[in-house]
């Protein structure tokens, strides 16, 4: 075991260059399609990353053991999944590191990394370094550095993931041959990883070409859209929205209820965070270099967003995501742009975007006690319904002590109203 090194100012355990060579880096699951791509790309770049796909009640119990139960549910699950993994015996605890994201905003998510270190100390695993994945320069490690190439590959991975998720969800409920859609997703995941690992597929021209090919492939799937299905959008706190572990397999449950599901993509959240940084600099001042970097990243992300929307819009049977600035405009006069904590105004905007796109039925997923999301989510439902009476929204709290059957019963009540509305639409056609 090598000699551990600590930051002189903070006393934080560092992830060193030597660790990069022979440590396994574990990170928690959130969005499966996206994270599968990103994990394999990081591995090719010299980081031995492993995505945790563990599930089950023991993860929440591990989280509750090492994290205070007043902390939000995503922290309990993501930290529980990481500590559960290092306690499982599958890894050498002296050759493993943990990675977790930090947004740098006012949400408690920025403190997950400190809670994780506290949990490791309580578990007697202080020798395990924790790496912060962030774009704000909050924590730096000698053995881990975000480069321009990594960021460009990551943006490409996110946009490809958004495309695959969007098209999969619009094809799988209607596929004639079971499994065709998932096989196509897997095929493209493998091709994307192969391209990115060969330093291909992340330039704007290549992204545009690949997104068109992806849309063409999904358009060629054998589907039967003769049966009208209930269309359901899913919004909420980013972890609970995407992670099956966090929302009790919500997407699978909705598919079993014969629904078509729409999850707004991750790129919208990325744009929201960059936009907030630019707005903060404009209002309160800040580094000109940081502003320039944020503006370059914003402009680039908007270009790849345009490529995504353009590729999917080529086919009438697909509903393409709305562009970021259009989504942003939907909340003008509904909720203030200063509501930026957590998902902030974006959560309200995504509900309005879904209703506008024909997904009138919405599950608003939120960790119990997540104040920003209760305000921008549950708190805005009445205003959204007043704006568009077709909106049929249910807010569902997720927590370690919340019974799954209660959550599903609330969703089933929303779906019963959705089916009634669908029958009325058929009669009026």
Structure tokens at 280: 């903060």
Task: Using the predicted structure, report yes or no on whether residue 135 has a pLDDT greater than 90.
Answer: no
User: Considering only 4-8, 80-84, 315-319, 386-390, which range has the smallest mean pLDDT?
Assistant: 4-8
Mean pLDDT throughout 252-263? Answer: 96
pLDDT band with cut points at 50, 70 and 90 for residue 300: very high
pLDDT digits 0-9 by tens, 140-160: 888 988 888 888 999 999 999
Going by their DSSP bridges, the two strands 130-133 and 96-101 should be labelled as parallel
Q: Which of 43-52, 107-116, 420-429 has the highest mean pLDDT?
A: 43-52
Contact 370, 325 (CB under 8 A): no
CA distances from 328 to 246, 269, 350 (A): 27, 11, 9
Q: Where are the alpha helices (DSSP H) in 244-287?
A: 250-256, 266-284
Q: How many of the other CB atoms lie within 10 Å of CB of 168?
A: 20
Look at residue 405 in the predicted model and tell me its pLDDT: 94
Contacts of 79 by beta carbon, 8 Å cutoff, 6+ apart: 63, 66, 67, 100, 112, 115, 116, 119
Task: Using the predicted structure, report yes or no on whether residue 219 has a pLDDT greater than 70.
Answer: yes
pLDDT digits 0-9 by tens, 104-121: 666 666 678 888 999 999
pLDDT band with cut points at 50, 70 and 90 for residue 56: confident
* DSSP code at position 323: P
What domains are defined for the chain?
17-145 (3.40.50), 147-227+266-319 (no CATH), 229-264+321-429 (3.40.50)
DSSP string of 380-403?
GHHHHHHH-TT-EEEEEEE-TTS-
Q: How many of the other CB atoms lie within 10 Å of CB of 113?
A: 23
Contact 406, 109 (CB under 8 A): no
Which tops the pLDDT comparison, 306 or 293? 306
Look at residue 318 in the predicted model and tell me its pLDDT: 97
Give the CA-trace dihedral at 314, 316, 321, 324, to 10 degrees.
Answer: 60
Q: What are phi and psi of 198, to 5 degrees?
A: -105, 20
Per 3-state DSSP, the chain is made up of helix, strand and coil in percentages (nearest 5) of 55, 10, 35
Degrees to nearest 5, angle at CA 397 with 393 and 399 = 160
Contact 266, 161 (CB under 8 A): yes
């Amino acid at each position: 075991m090598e000699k551990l090194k600590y930051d002189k100012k903070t006393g934080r355990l560092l992830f060193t260059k030597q660790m990069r060579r022979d440590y396994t880096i574990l990170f928690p699951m959130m969005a499966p399609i996206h994270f599968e791509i990103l994990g394999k790309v990081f591995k090719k770049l010299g980081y031995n990353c492993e995505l945790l796909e563990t599930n089950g009640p023991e993860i929440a119990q591990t989280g509750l053991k090492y994290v205070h139960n007043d902390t939000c549910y995503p922290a309990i699950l993501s930290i529980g999944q990481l500590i559960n993994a290092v306690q499982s015996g599958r890894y050498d605890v002296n050759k493993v590191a943990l990675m977790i994201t930090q947004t740098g905003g006012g949400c408690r998510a920025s403190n997950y990394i400190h809670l994780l270190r506290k949990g490791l100390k309580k578990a007697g695993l202080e020798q395990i370094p924790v790496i912060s994945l962030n774009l704000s320069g909050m924590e730096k490690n000698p053995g881990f550095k975000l480069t321009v190439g990594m960021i460009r590959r990551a943006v490409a991975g996110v946009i490809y993931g958004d495309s695959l998720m969007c098209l999969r969800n619009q094809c799988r409920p209607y596929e004639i041959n079971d499994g065709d859609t998932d096989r196509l997703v897997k095929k493209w995941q493998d091709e994307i990883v192969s391209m990115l690992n060969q330093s291909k597929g992340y330039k704007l021209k290549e992204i545009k070409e690949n997104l068109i090919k992806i849309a063409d492939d999904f358009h060629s799937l054998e589907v039967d859209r003769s049966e009208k299905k209930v269309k359901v959008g899913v919004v909420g706190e980013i972890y609970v929205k995407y992670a099956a572990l966090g929302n009790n397999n919500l997407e699978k449950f909705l598919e079993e209820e014969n629904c078509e599901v729409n999850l707004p993509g991750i790129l919208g959240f990325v744009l929201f965070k960059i936009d907030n940084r630019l707005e903060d600099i404009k209002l309160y001042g800040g580094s000109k270099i940081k502003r320039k970097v944020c503006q370059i990243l914003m402009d680039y992300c908007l270009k790849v967003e345009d490529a995504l929307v353009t590729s999917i819009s080529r086919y009438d049977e697909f509903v393409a995501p709305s562009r970021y600035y259009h989504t942003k405009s939907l909340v003008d006069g509904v909720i203030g742009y200063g509501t930026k904590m957590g998902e902030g105004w974006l959560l309200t905007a995504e509900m309005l975007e879904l209703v506008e796109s024909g997904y009138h039925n919405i599950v608003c997923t939120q960790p119990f006690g997540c104040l920003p999301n209760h305000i921008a989510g549950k708190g805005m439902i009445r205003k959204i319904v007043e704006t568009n009476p077709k909106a049929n929204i249910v807010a569902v709290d997720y927590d370690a002590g919340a019974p799954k059957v209660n959550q599903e019963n609330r969703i089933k009540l929303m779906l019963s109203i959705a089916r009634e509305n669908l029958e009325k639409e058929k009669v009026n056609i």
